[in-house]
Structure 1
Amino acid sequence: MSGQTFREDLKEKAIRWLEENRGIVILFFVLPASLIFDLFVRVRIWVNRKFLEKSSTHENRVETIQQRVKVWNSTPSSDRKLLCTSRPNWQSLSTTFFDKTKCHQIPVDLHEILALDEKNLILHAEPNVTVAEACKYLVPKGYALAVTLEIGDATLGGLAFGVGMTTHSHKVGLYQETIVEYEVVTSKGDLLIVTGENEHSDLFYCLPWSHGTLGFLTSLKLKLIKVKPYVHMTYLPMRQEETLCRQMMKLSGAIDKDYQVADFLEATIYDKDKAVIMVANFAEVDTLKKWWKINDVTRWWKPWFYKYVETKFIGGGSEYIPLESYLLRHNRAIFWVVEDMIPFGNHWLFRLLFGWLLPPKPAFLKFTTTSAVREMTFAKQVFQDIVMPLETLDSQMAKAVELFERYPLLVYPCRIYDHQRGPQGQLRVPPKERLVPGTNYAMYNDLGVYGTPGQIKAKKFYNPSYAMREMEKFTREVGGYSFLYADIFMDEKEFNEMFDMELYEKVRKRYNCNEAFPRLYDKVKPEVDVIQISEEFAKKQK
């Protein structure tokens, strides 16, 4: 046996062992290491806040970033690398690994909440504040972000330059709709205040979905909503006489703009005949009867939220959930991704003994990702959030199940606005025929598909490049968009068909980005040849 053959054989055995014993590896290595790692990060940030950031102002910290960019500008153009932040890839929630070693890296260590404007309901924060930190700060004061992602480690800045959507989005739209101001350092080291009404409005509309390819974000101002301590959650089983699409269209207000929609709306589809729609409204618990129906769903010994709903409320019901717990209800099981990592994770004994260790830190999972494990993340798993017109929901679900044979599926309705200004960034203006009558928005939805495809579990033939490219083709045909945190299989021509790059390219030219920052497609495309690896994976199954 040659040395190369031996290494390939050893690699295959290692991958096979990892797959067959993944739960044990995660339990005895990843979870404890995630806990230690998380404590280390928290201590580092605390020390930084206590002794460094608190001894300086936000203005001082931003000026340091400006000076570093200006130093880069002072070097000969032939010696310059493209700019990016120095934040390690493994600290982001993206599944890809952009090669930052080829860039000039600028530290952007900004972690502070700067101000709370209770009169105008605005939070001013630096970009590395996490969703969990924002929740802990705001909820006790009676406020919440208008769009609160369920994953606590997501950062406010990462969502601003990426995308965010949640169960309140049928009332307010995507995360980008809740941003009223960006503070951005440009490629020249200038500091800009960017709003939709000032001279930088073109940049304002292109910063969402730009993934750090137009400038460095140093702060942002976000809309807040007034809240109550609890939500009253009502679980509605899918009615067989009416499609899920029709029910979600009605409940989201997509059919009648005057329909009294709930504060929060989502659906989890467990199989073709079984789904639960969840509607929630802000509530006070002011009677003993209500108090008896309180359920803190995020307690570490409790069942994972989606499993709990499936077993207890598949036939309907209601309860009261503390608001912060509701907002982060999917955090512990990362929706249902942890089930594929730890198949026994929802067992009552595991929860009792080890539930407090969940969830595994996404950052640590990325930090420990080898090339073999990286290949497995797109060849044998699917992580996709896709924005598509809500009226196509039934065909969306059918296509996802056909290609991935995967349940559960996640559905969040969401407004996509026509701001009536011509090109409005990377998302195209919704077609007029899709606008909700009497409004300037159309109702879309997030379709979440996460975990191991059914073909892999059943040991059937599965071609990941075919499945993903077919899903992307379907998405383009219905006028939808793939979230760019996940691996894309599109070539650049197909990418430009999905997204509107007209204003983005003009903005890059106006703000001198072409020689300073990576282009969007280059920034978000997988760092490995997913097509080639997927095809090789498919061949091995034949």
Structure 2
Amino acid sequence: MLPSFIKDRLIRWLEDNREFVVCAFCLPASFLFALLLRLRAAVRRLASDPNRHQSAVREIQARVQEWNKLPPKDRRLLCTSRPNWLSLSTTFFQKHLHHQVPIPLYDILELDEQAMTVRVEPMVTIGDITEYLIPKGYSLAVTIELVDATLGGLAFGTGMSTHSHKAGLYHETITSYEVVLGDGSLVTATADNEYSDLYKTLPWCHGSLGFLVALTLKIVKIKPYIKLKYTPVKGQKNYCDTMRDLSGANVAKPAVFPDYIEGTIFTKHEAVIMTGDYSDYDPKIPVNYCSRWYKPWFYKHVESFLLKGETVELIPLRDYLLRHNRPIFWVVEDMISFGNDPWFRILFGWLLPPKPAFLKFTTTPGVRAYTFTKQVFQDIVLPIQELEKQIEIASVLFEKFPLLVYPCKIIDHGPSSGQLKRPNAKYLVPGTNYAMYNDLGVYGVPGKVKEKKPYNPVDAMRKMEKFTREVGGYSFLYADIFMTKEEFEDMFDLSLYEVVRKKYKAEGAFPHLYDKVKPEIDVFEIGEEFAIKET
């Protein structure tokens, strides 16, 4: 154990020399780490066996059944053996306290072009599925921007994309889940079979109801390019109204809406709104391969249109879908302030991004507690009718721009339809069963931290969560939450979830949802410490 004065000096040195540490150690190590993971995946593909899926699932069932034979006092709750550092969640679930079951399922199983679906194992990544589908002329209906996100992780968590104003949240595109339950049985849950109640509660369950062994997802027919229009808008009401109009928040069909919509808010008064449609090649429109290593970071490219004015480009589809991957939206800027400089992009851009898995792998409890207080990484789903209020409260609490806005359809599936509460009737689009919400993405180092001013991360996030509950929104649970269990149950509807836990043998076999997603560190104690320092 280091003496406290040495520890304080070391932390201060790391903080003052963060760019050197990231460039000299994290980037090269991340690159090598990613290369090893790709080699491992290639070896796994070469060794693939048509019968491997069935045998692997039987092995998972056998392990759960063996667990059931243990004396009750020896049965620790079940979880996967996948290391925390491979997950994109910001939390570190305490797997060492649980009974771990390997889930070695990495294959794409079946493409059904007639049904327009693809069946996959849960460890298939966004990088894998885009490489597989796009050359065949297809894409997932909802494609998250980070190549390392797994399709199973997104299924039990959730996600959205710039196509979500049409497709809804990621789980709306899942037609079936194949799950090993707490008694070792294998079931397939769909919206209209005998396991429809399980189907409703698997989204947002974060592995607290069973082990996912396969899922079937909707796909869409595509064209090779996205024709993307960048429109700078000045005035907060103007850009908020524009986002609502373009996404269909005020009127339903027969209006025609763009295939893709995204807003990047650079100040409270300036934003660039992007609208995209599938397109074939057009020689009259310039092509931008925006994901290549030497290209400007996408959000910086977007920012340039505040001065250039409205512009149209063609972007190859995979480049567009993964446009935010290199700078991890804009998080990398807080690690490497010169990362977007031309010299750095040309010489070292191929090393980006630092792999989230490697960053988590090298995160000790001390570093975790330190970084927890110095940065924010949150995606929050909120009614788009309250967009002005969202921007105002986020700018006050975090003093962090840009802000990301994706419109997203939230469908009212009726009572007892899962963990997401039904959208308030006042937000419903007239004549429909859905409301238009949006993702508000807040990423990076808050302004007060950069200016070395007092900043209480717990107080800031609890105020943001309070606002979210008041307007009927939801926090994405891959990020740290700051709610008590009572507040969590106020934000989400756990009535059907609790019934399903008992019915399908998850009670006593898997951790409860709240216990699965709450931070492993005591956020309330940290908040009290900061409050004392401020007084």
Q: Which TM-score tier does this pair reach, normalised by the shorter chain?
A: over 0.9
* Structure 1 contact 98–526 (Cα < 8 Å) conserved: yes
Deviation at 1:18, TM superposition (A): 1.2
- Residue 485 in structure 1 maps to residue 481 in structure 2: no
3-state DSSP of counterpart to 2:486: helix
- SS of residue paired to 2:528: helix
Cα offset, 1:537, TM superposition: 4.2
Deviation at 1:256, TM superposition (A): 1.2
What are the superposed Cα offsets for residues 226-271 of structure 1, whole Å, 9 maximum, x if unpaired? 1000011001111438432211110001111122110000100001
Partner of 2:431: 438
Which residue type is aligned with residue 272 of structure 1?
K
The RMSD of aligned alpha carbons is 1.4
Q: Deviations over 1:397-426 (max 9, x none)?
A: 000001011100000000110123x21111
Q: Is residue 2:214 matched to residue 1:246? A: no
Partner of 1:46: 42
Give the secondary-structure state (helix, strand or coil) at the position aligned to 2:389. Answer: helix
Percent of matched pairs sharing the same residue: 58
Q: Distance in 1 between matches of 2:443 and 2:161?
A: 16
Specify which of 170, 191, 196 is matched with residue 196 of structure 1.
Answer: 191
Correspondence for 1:509 = 502
Counterpart of 2:147 (choices 117, 133, 152) is 152
Task: Note closer, same or farther for the CA distance 1:153–1:223 as it changes in structure 2 (3 Å cut).
Answer: same
Partner Cα separation in structure 1 for residue 465 and residue 54 of structure 2? 43
Aligned AA for 1:371? P
Question: Secondary structure of 1:54's match?
Answer: coil
Which of 9, 14, 17 is the equivalent residue of 1:13? 9
Instruction: Tell me the equivalent position of 1:338.
Output: 332
1:238 is paired with a residue whose SS is strand
Match of 2:319 among 320, 325, 330: 325
Residue 94 of structure 1, aligned match among 89, 95, 98: 89
Do residues 271 (structure 1) and 264 (structure 2) align?
no
Instruction: Tell me the distance in 1 between the aligned counterparts of 2:383 and 2:284.
Output: 40
Find out whether 1:409 has 2:400 as its counterpart: no
Question: Could you tell me which residue of structure 2 aligns to residue 107 of structure 1?
Answer: 102
Query: Is 1:68 equivalent to 2:63 in the alignment?
Result: yes
**Cα distance, 1:54 vs structure 2:** 2.3
Aligned to 2:412, which of 415, 418, 422?
418
Deviation at 1:50, TM superposition (A): 2.4
- The 1-side partners of 2:26 and 2:411 are apart by 42
Shift of 1:371: 2.0
Cα distance between partner residues in 1 of 2:236 and 2:404 = 21
Equivalent residue, structure 2, for 1:208: 203
Q: CA deviation at 1:539?
A: 4.2
Counterparts of 2:380 and 2:257, CA distance in 1: 23
For 1:411, give the aligned amino acid: V
AA matched with 2:54? E
1:497 to 470, 490, 495: 490
Distance in 1 of aligned mates of 2:9 and 2:224: 51
- Scaled by the length of structure 1, the TM-score of the pair is 0.96
Structure 1 residue corresponding to 2:442, chosen from 428, 445, 449? 449
> Does the 8 Å contact 1:463/1:535 carry over to 2?
no
For residues 79 and 347 of structure 1, the distance between their equivalents in structure 2, rounded to whole angstroms, comes to 56
Change (3 A) 1:354 1:541: farther
Aligned equivalent of 1:162: 157
- Taking the aligned partners of 2:261 and 2:445, their CA distance within structure 1 comes to 26
Counterpart of 2:169, as a letter, is L
Residue type matched to 1:399 in 2?
A: I
Distance 1:469 1:24 in 2: 33
Matched, 1:462 2:458: no
Secondary structure of 1:443's counterpart equals: strand
Give 1:275's aligned amino acid. A
Cα offsets for 1:481-539 (capped at 9, x unmatched): 11101111111010000010100000001011111000000010000112222432454
Higher mean C-alpha displacement, 425-434 vs 167-176: 425-434
Question: How far 1:119 sits from its partner (Å)?
Answer: 1.0
Are the structure 2 counterparts of residues 517 and 416 from structure 1 closer, same or farther at C-alpha, using a change threshold of 3 Å?
same
What is the CA distance between 1:181 and its match in structure 2? 0.3
**Shift, 1:313, TM fit:** 5.1
Gaps of 5+ in 1: none
Distance 2:470 2:530 in 1: 28
Q: Give the structure 1 partner of residue 349 of structure 2.
A: 355
Q: Secondary structure at the match of 1:485?
A: coil
Give 2:394's match in structure 1, choosing from 387, 393, 400.
Answer: 400
CA drift of 1:91 comes to 0.3
Structure 1 residue 312: deviation in Å? 3.9
Q: Are 1:387 and 1:444, in contact at CA under 8 Å, matched by a contact in 2?
A: yes
Runs (5+) with no aligned partner, structure 2? none
Q: Verify the 8 A CA contact 1:15 1:372 in the aligned structure 2.
A: no
Cα distance between partner residues in 2 of 1:539 and 1:46: 53
Determine the structure 1 residue equivalent to 2:523: 530
Q: Shift of residue 120 of structure 1?
A: 1.2
Cα distance in 1, alignment partners of residues 250 and 518 from structure 2? 37
Q: Distance in 2 between matches of 1:208 and 1:54?
A: 30
Asked if the contact 1:301/1:352 (under 8 Å) is kept, the reply is yes
How far the C-alpha of 1:28 sits from its partner, in A, is 1.0
Q: 1:534 to 1:380 in 2, by over 3 A?
A: farther
Question: What SS does the corresponding residue of 2:304 show, helix, strand or coil?
Answer: helix
What is the CA distance between 1:431 and its match in structure 2? 2.0
Letter in 2 for 1:267: G
CA distance, structure 2, for counterparts of residue 123 and residue 22 of structure 1: 42
Cα gap change, 1:294/1:112 in structure 2, threshold over 3 Å: closer, same or farther?
same
Contact 2:424 2:472 in 1 (8 A): no
Deviations 1:276-321 (A, max 9, x none): 00000000114x323xx00000010111000111024552211110
